Amino acid sequence: MRIHQYQIDAFTDHLFGGNPAAVCLLESWLPVETMQAIATENNLSETVFCVPERGGYGIRWFTPRLEIGLAGHPTLAAAWVILNDITPDVAEVRFTSYGGDVLSVVRDGKWLIMDFPAVPATKADNLPEIAEALGAVPDHVLAARDMMAVFQDEATVHALDPDMTKVAALDTFGLIATAPGEDCDFVSRFFAPQAGIPEDPVTGSAHCTLAPYWAERLGKTQLFARQISERGGEIHCEHLGDRVRLGGTAVPFMEGYITL
């Protein structure tokens, strides 16, 4: 059996930036154990699997350790493959997640615009625990799927040197650190060592929580964000109540086949 696989750098306009994702195009679903083994072998933040169904694609996302319910940069990567190599004559692709969520991606010039559910956070009470894990005291912390630590300035977020053992022990999928940006609306970093991702280069799904927070705090619905990891990436966000639009670009790095 041969599986067509791409590797795409997402949320960037140049190679070796943004977040690399593996995109596997399937005719039908493989056993979960096989998809997890492929993701572990790829050892990228996520490997995404797509199967044609219902006029669009079913989509599933795997980190090197586990399957997850929502992921942004591999969805952007999958959309780039489909809208450029598979159906270049169309401008929109719809994905249905394993949990039933419908996610659309629209091509607008060089941009790909994803429509995702908003995941707003509420106040959390474990600031000392998060401060110890990050090695710095945030102004406040919030919780949704991910914990979010809010700091006063970009320099503090950039300088964070988390204790990954302590981050992994937190009762959360991932830990977001965020602050106002110096040349953008806000910056962030994202850590999920328990999922096999010590620091994620660019995390689209985290912006489902970041965008509602910063939209309310800054009093604006359209925001420009940077994830200030070593590779770095840029995300254009629009908060639409119970939905967020996340815009970015992507570039192809590699194409080949997996032989099973």
**Cα 189 versus chain centre, distance:** 11
The helix (H) or strand (E) run that includes residue 236 is strand 233-240
List the one residue out of 6, 22, 39 whose CA is nearest residue 195. Answer: 39
- pLDDT tens for the chain, residues 1 to 260: 999 999 999 999 999 999 999 999 999 999 999 999 999 999 999 999 999 998 999 999 999 999 999 999 999 999 999 999 999 999 999 999 998 999 999 999 999 999 999 999 999 999 999 999 999 999 999 999 999 999 999 999 999 999 999 999 999 999 999 999 999 999 999 999 999 999 999 999 999 999 999 999 999 999 999 999 999 999 999 999 999 999 999 999 999 999 99
Determine whether 199 is an active site residue: no
d(CA 58, CA 78): 11
d(CA 50, CA 37): 16
Token duo for residue 63: 């980190």
d(CA 89, CA 244): 26
Domains of the chain listed by start with CATH number: 2-106+249-259 (3.10.310.10), 122-241 (3.10.310.10)
**pTM surpassing 0.75?**
yes
Tokens 């990050």, residue located: 134
- Among residues 46, 154, 199, 234, which one is catalytic? 46
Name the phi and psi angles at 116, rounded to 5: -125, 160
According to DSSP, the residues that pair with 258 across neighbouring strands are 3
Dihedral (C-alpha) 144, 104, 8, 63: value to the nearest 10 degrees? 40
